[in-house]
Amino acid sequence: MNLWILAGVRTPFLRAGTRFEPLGAADLGRLAISALLARTGIDPGAIDEVILGCVGQPADAANVARVAALRAGIPANVPAATVQRNCASGLESITSAYERMAAGKGELFLVGGMESMSRYPLLYNDSAAKHFGLLAKARSPFQKLAALTKFRAKDFSPQIGLKLGLTDPYTGMIMGETAELLAREYGINRAEQDVFAADSHRKALAATEARAREVAPAHVGGEAVLNDNGPREDSTPEKLTKLKPIFEPKWGGVTAGNSSQISDGAVALLVGSEAAAARLGLTPLGRLTHYAYSGCDPARMGIGPVLASAKAMRDGAPSPAEADVVELNEAFAAQVLAVLKAFRDPAAARLAGLDHPLGEIAPEKLNRRGGSIALGHPVGATGSRLVLTALDQLHETGGKRALVTLCVGGGQGAALWFERP
């Protein structure tokens, strides 16, 4: 039984704090779903379930997939679920749909992901929460004054939710520190990282017209947002080398310029059985053939794609070298370079935990339209974006197979294989 990708669209991916800042995750999800329904013209009542990924789910939109679906006009009788596997949440939505279909729980699903990293909250400490609680319970002016006198200066120093979300609670390492660890262990120097990052921007700029096929305009405040705003013409190796390392200031190589951008965006995909595609009169973009999720050391979470790809191969998937298109998420340049080295080099493969390399990925197959360093990484949506990008490239190039893989905060990897019909 195959899960077919029938259609897909995404919003532009925008740097956090720019044009999408007023929109929450549910708003971004609504935009993507509405665009998908408009492009396909399908009856939303034909959908069996909506499954969307979101990492930083908003407190004011519990089960944010349901909120986004209803706001986009999905009928109330169509259920919706939000899934969360950190950076792989957008992929989790796809494989969850496959598992439901295989279990006989539906034939047509709307999947994808959304993330508003601009709207991640500030969090107050326990002391502040206690004092705000006392203030809320106070009734008389005297009680309120007494409650106010208990506040201290430290109560007004909130923690940054985004920083907490990017910090592994098991190791205490922020994600950039895990990239620095891989850079040391796999011998990735600063110059290599900056060259890779600049190349991501170069490829993204060169593929602006091709990427437009993925994107639906989004209207914000009466104005249309048409394109991703992450790619930069001035991101050259010479410019990037001037940036200071963030996580290891004295000797590190990971900078804001060779890391993925913090972004807002959403993706919607229509997936289902071959019979559902025939009923709707849709020509599928491709089919899911294999997938695997793997665990790894959280301190080395960036190496997850190697282990997930190896696990998929044990289940019958091709080797990474056999892919015609590879979308390997660019969490950090150092992380991608370590993964590529582990794919091809025996010593690096052993360091990653494998007996032998899986096969070298040709540079011309990798992230041909740029990656998250240039385009941004709205974490709940990125996995679905990689799939949409990979399938469009297969049709553009006439290729047959695509590998979509990424690392996952907390120490996991994901690898999904797709074929063009």
Taking the C-alpha atoms of residue 329 and residue 107, their distance in angstroms, rounded to an integer, is: 29
Render 5-49 in DSSP notation, one character per residue. EEEEEEPPPEETTSTTTT--HHHHHHHHHHHHHHHH---GGG-SE
User: Does the annotation count 54 as an active-site position?
Assistant: no
**Given the residues 54, 87, 201, 290, the one annotated as active site:** 87
Taking the C-alpha atoms of residue 88 and residue 336, their distance in angstroms, rounded to an integer, is: 16
Which helix (H) or strand (E) segment is 220 a member of? strand 218-220
Render 294-313 in DSSP notation, one character per residue. EE--GGGGGGHHHHHHHHHH
User: Does the annotation count 356 as an active-site position?
Assistant: no
Paired tokens of 202? 């170069």
**Given the residues 54, 131, 201, 407, the one annotated as active site:** 407
Cβ proximity of 342 and 348 under 8 Å: yes
Query: Which residues, including other chains, have CB under 8 Å from residue 400's CB and lie 6 or more apart?
Result: 324, 394, 419, 420
**Given the residues 131, 201, 290, 377, the one annotated as active site:** 377
Strand pairing of 401-408 and 223-225? Answer: unpaired
User: Does the annotation count 290 as an active-site position?
Assistant: no
Catalytic positions:
87, 377, 407
